[in-house]
Amino acid sequence: MQQNENDHFLHMNPLRSPLDDLFARLALINGLLHTFESQQTNFRSLVTASLERNRFDLTNLATGANLIIRDLTEWPAHGWAGYYPAGGFIAEGEEYLNLIEVFVQRQSAWSIAQSYEAFETFLFDSTANVMANDKRGESPRRLHMENSEDGNLVPMDLEGWKVKIRQTYRSKNNCKLLKAIRTMAPNLEQAEVANNRRLNLRDWYKVITEVRHAVTHSDLLDKNARKNGWSVKEKSLLQSIVAGKLNVDGYALAPSQKNAEKTIQSFAEYSLAIFKSFSIECGYDWSKAVKGYG
C-alpha cells in the first residue's frame, strides 16, 4: 500500500525522484557512520577488557604496515622484481587504542565529503527535472543559460537537461547553480535565511564547501590562505560545524560523528527546502515527500 502511494505521488510530482535518491544516499552514509562508530567503541571495550583479564602489558600491543613499491621502468637482469620501501606506519601501546578515535574522525570526514557530493548531484538533477517538467513554463523563462547565445532555451528531454545543466553550472562550488535555483524559486530564500534552525544556509554552505575541500585535498587541514576575506562570523561558524584545532597553517579538522550526522541532516533539510520551493513554483504537491508529513 505504501509503495502504491509513493508511486502515485511520484507520478503526481515528477520532481521528487532526485530527492528520493538523495535521501536514500544520505541515509546510507549516516547508517554506515553510526554502525562504524558503534563497532569501534565496542572493539575498544572488548580489547581493554581482554588485556585486563589476561594481564597483558599494553606496551607490548602494536600494529604496523609498510608501503612497498616497484620502479615501473626497472627491468633487473636477474629477472626478479625489485621492491623498495616508500614509507611505513606503526602504532604501539596506548597509541594503538587511540587509533580508534582517528578511524572515527576519518570516517566522519569521509561522510561529510560524500554528503556534499550527494547534495551536488541533487542540485544538478533537481534543476534538470524542473526544466523538463515545469508545466507552467516559468523556469525556462526565468533561467538565463550563460552558454546560450540569445538566452532562449530549446526544449529537451530530462537526460538532455541533465547534460546541459552540468555543462553550464559545474564551476565555482555550485554558487552559480544555487543562484540560478533562487531565480527559479524565489521563495527558497525564507528557508535559507529565516528558518527554524536559525542557521543561515548560505553561510553554512560556503563553510561546508571549504570543509569538503580540506577533507578531499588537504588531509583535513583548512588552510588559512583559503579563508582570506572570511568574516569573524564565518570563521566561528566553521568551528561550530566541525571540531578541530587552530595552528599556524590553518584549522586542522577533527570531525566527530555528531558533526557528520548534523551535516548530513542539514544537507537533507536544505534539499527538502529546494524541492518544496521548486514544487510550489511548478504547481506540484510537495507535502508527501517526507513520510508522515502532510
| 173-197 per-position pLDDT tens digit | 798 899 989 989 999 999 999 999 9
φ and ψ of 246, to 5 deg = -80, 140
Report percent pLDDT > 90 for the chain.
69
Sign of the dihedral defined by the CA atoms of residues 181, 187, 193, 199, in that order: negative
φ and ψ of 132, to 5 deg = -85, -20
The answer as to whether 169 is a domain residue is yes
φ and ψ of 117, to 5 deg = -65, -40
- Residues contacting residue 117 through CB under 8 Å, at least 6 positions apart: none
Does residue 3 surpass a pLDDT of 70?
no
Closest to 208 (Cα-Cα) out of 129, 294, 109, 133: 109
Closest to 223 (Cα-Cα) out of 251, 246, 202, 243: 251
Rg (CA), the chain: 24
Helix (H) or strand (E) run with residue 179 in it: helix 175-184
The answer as to whether 228 is a domain residue is yes
CB-CB contact of 129 with 14 (8 Å): yes
The answer as to whether 104 is a domain residue is yes
Rounded mean pLDDT, 121-149: 75
Does residue 263 surpass a pLDDT of 80?
yes
Helix (H) or strand (E) run with residue 89 in it: strand 84-92
Determine the length of the chain. 294
Please calculate the CA angle 234-254-61 and round it to the nearest 5 degrees: 175
The answer as to whether 127 is a domain residue is yes
Residue type, 5: E
Query: Per residue in 16-26, pLDDT tens?
Result: 999 999 999 99
SS (H, E, C) 133-169: HCCCCHHHHHCCCCCCCCCCCCCCCHHHHHHHHHHHH
C-alpha cell at 254: 577533527
The answer as to whether 292 is a domain residue is no
φ and ψ of 252, to 5 deg = -80, 110
Q: What is the number of structural domains in the chain?
A: 1
Does residue 139 surpass a pLDDT of 50?
yes
The answer as to whether 290 is a domain residue is no
The answer as to whether 77 is a domain residue is no
The answer as to whether 83 is a domain residue is no
Rounded mean pLDDT, 216-227: 96
Query: Per residue in 55-94, pLDDT tens?
Result: 999 888 899 999 999 999 999 999 999 999 999 999 999 9
Distance CA 21, CA 4 (A): 18
Range of the domain at 36: 2-60+95-282
Identify the pLDDT of residue 150.
40
